[in-house]
Structure 1
Amino acid sequence: MAGLRLFRQEYAVQSGAESVVVLDFETTGLSPDNGDRAIEIGAVRLQNGIITERFQQLMDPGRRISPFIEDYTGITNAMLADAAPVSTVMADFADFIGDDNLVAHNASFDKRFLDAELARISRSYPGAFACSLLVSRRLYQDSPDHKLGTLVRWKNIAGEGNFHRALYDAEMTAYLWLAMLEDIREQSRLSDVPFDLVTQLSKTAKKSVGSFFSRW
C-alpha cells in the first residue's frame, strides 16, 4: 500500500472538488427499476485530496443472488447470509455522506441505486453527483477505453485489491479523480478546481474541451 500513500501525497490539492465522497455499489443486477438491490457499498471521503475515512458494508438484499453475480463480484450468498439488511446499511451510509458532494465511475448507475435505496427508507442527500467516467472521456481521449481498470493502468495508479469489490473500486476511483483534478489544474491554470467546473466539463463536447479550459 506504500504506492497508494505516495500517490495521495503527489496529487493532494487544497480545496473544492478534492473534498468529496467517492462511492461504488455492487448489486444484484443492472437496474433498481427491475427490482435489483444493492449488496455492497464502498466509499471513501476525500478531504483536501487525502482519504480521511472509509465505509464498507455487505448487505442482505432479501433474496439469493445469481451465480453470475457471485462470479463477477466474488460476493457469495454465504457471505450475505449474515449481512445486515440493506435498509440498516443505507441509513448508516446516509449519515456517512453528510453534506458532501459525490463522485462515482459511471455515476448514473450508482446514483440510481443510491436514490432507490435511500427512497425506501425516506432518506436523501443534499450534495451533487459527478461522474469520473464522463470526465475521463473528455480528458483522456487517447485512452484505449474508459473502464476504471483501464484508466488506473493508463495513469499508472498503484493499487492492491480486486476490481468489482465496492471499497477497492471506490478507492481506485478516488485516486483517478485526484489524477484528473491535477490534469485539470494544469490545463485550466487554476490552483483550486471547483466541483462545478468538473461537472460542467463532464457535459462538454469532446471537441470543445480546449475552448472550455480557455474560458476558465
Structure 2
Amino acid sequence: MSERHRFWQRALRFLSLEIPREASSAFIGGEHSLQQEMWLRSLRKEQQKQIDMTMPLDEVMFIIIDMETTGFSPQHGDEILAMAAAKTVNGIVKETYFTLVCPEKAIPPHISSLTGIQAEDVQHAPRLWEAMRSFLSFIHGGVMIGYHIGHDLSFLNHFLWTYYRTKWTARFLDMQPIAEMVRHRPFPSLDAALQYYGISCEKRHTADGDVQAMAELWDRLLEELKSRNIETLNDLYSALSMR
C-alpha cells in the first residue's frame, strides 16, 4: 500500500469521526495520527475497567478536578480556560496537573475579573484539543471527584463527543452531596463547605487553587465517612443512594 493511500485512509477515518478542522491536520499526519489512535483505544480500555467496589476508601485513588470556563454551556460556545487535577490516596496528594488553555474567542471581561486569567496569560497556552490529551491521560485510572462536578463533566463530555464521538464512562463523584450527607446540612457552594470546615483558599476561582482547597476538603470528608463506618466505595454509593 502506497504512503499516499495510507494518508487518505487515515484522513477519511478521522473525517468519519467528525473531528474539528483545527485538530484534523495534527491527527492525520504520519506517526502522530497513529499515536492518537493508540491513545484513544487505550483511553477507552481504561474507562471500561471496573474499579473494585469493595476496596477501602483509603486505598482508592480519587482524582480531584476543576476547570475554569468562560460560562456554563459548552453547547453555546463557552470554553475552557484552565484545567487542574490532583491524584490523592487516603486524602494525601500524590501528583498534580495544571494547564491554561488558549480559547478560540476573546475572554469576557467579567471572567477575567473572576479568574484573573487575562488574554496575555493564554496567548502561548495550548489549544483545547492539545491540552485535553494530557489532562485525560492524567485523570484516567481512578475515581474522578469535584465540587459541582457536573459542570466540569459537561465540558469534558462536549470535548469527547465533538472530537471522538464518545463520552466519559469512568466513575465519578460529587463532593457536595457527600458533604451534605455527613453533616446533615446544605452546602450550596464550595465556598460554603470551605467556610464550614475552616479551609482557606487563597487562589479561589483558579483551577489549581480550587483543586488544592478541594483536596483539603476531601481529606476531612474521608475522615468523617470512615467515622460513620462508610469504609468502601460500595458503602459510599449505598449511603448516597439513601439520601
- Normalised to the residue count of structure 1, the TM-score between the two structures is 0.78
The equivalent residue for 2:239 is: 201
1:51 is paired with a residue whose SS is strand
Unaligned runs of 5+ in 2: 1-56
3-state SS in 1 of match to 2:86: strand
Answering whether residue 209 of structure 2 is matched by residue 168 of structure 1, we say yes
> Who is 2:40 aligned against?
none
Task: Give RMSD over aligned pairs.
Answer: 2.0
Deviations 1:29-62 (A, max 9, x none): 0111212111100110012331111100000121
**One-letter amino acid of the structure 2 residue matched with residue 89 of structure 1:** A
Structure 1 residues 87 and 22: alpha-carbon distance in aligned structure 2, compared to 1, 3 A threshold = same
Matched residue type, 1:194: T
The Cα shift of 1:160 comes to 5.3
Determine the C-alpha separation between the residues in 1 that align with 2:109 and 2:150. Answer: 25
1:75-114 pair list within 5 angstroms = 75-114=117-156
- SS of the counterpart of 2:159? helix
- Give the distance between the partners of 1:113 and 1:165, measured in 2 at CA: 16
For 1:84 and 1:109, the matched residues in 2 are separated by: 21
For structure 1, list consecutive stretches of 5 or more residues without a partner in the other structure. Answer: 1-12, 206-216
Give 1 or 2 for the bigger CA radius of gyration: 2
In 1, distance between residues paired with 2:235 and 2:210? 24
- Which sits farther off after the overlay, 66-75 or 131-140? 131-140
Taking the aligned partners of 2:116 and 2:236, their CA distance within structure 1 comes to 33
Out of 181, 185, 200, the position equivalent to 2:222 is 181
**Residues 134 and 142 of structure 1: is their aligned pair in 2 closer, same or farther, counting only changes over 3 Å?**
closer
The reply on whether 1:137 has 2:180 as its aligned counterpart is yes
- Larger deviation, residues 121-130 vs 66-75: 121-130
- What letter matches 1:140 in structure 2? R
Instruction: Specify the alignment match of 2:160 in structure 1.
Output: 118
C-alpha distance after superposition, 1:149-202 (max 9, x if no partner): 221221123x452110001111211221221121111112x5xx3234334434
Shift of 1:70: 0.7
Which amino acid in the other structure matches residue 183 of structure 2? Answer: Y
**Aligned mate of 1:64, from 90, 93, 106:** 106
* Percent of pairs with identical residues: 23
| Number of positions where the alignment pairs a residue of Structure 1 with one of Structure 2 | 186
Partners of 1:197 and 1:112 in 2: how far apart?
Answer: 27
How far residue 124 of structure 1 moved from its aligned partner, in angstroms, is 5.4
Instruction: Name the stretch that deviates more: 178-187 or 196-205.
Output: 196-205
Equivalent in the alignment of 1:153: 195
CA change 1:73–1:140 in 2 (3 A) is: same
TM-score, structure 2 normalization? 0.70
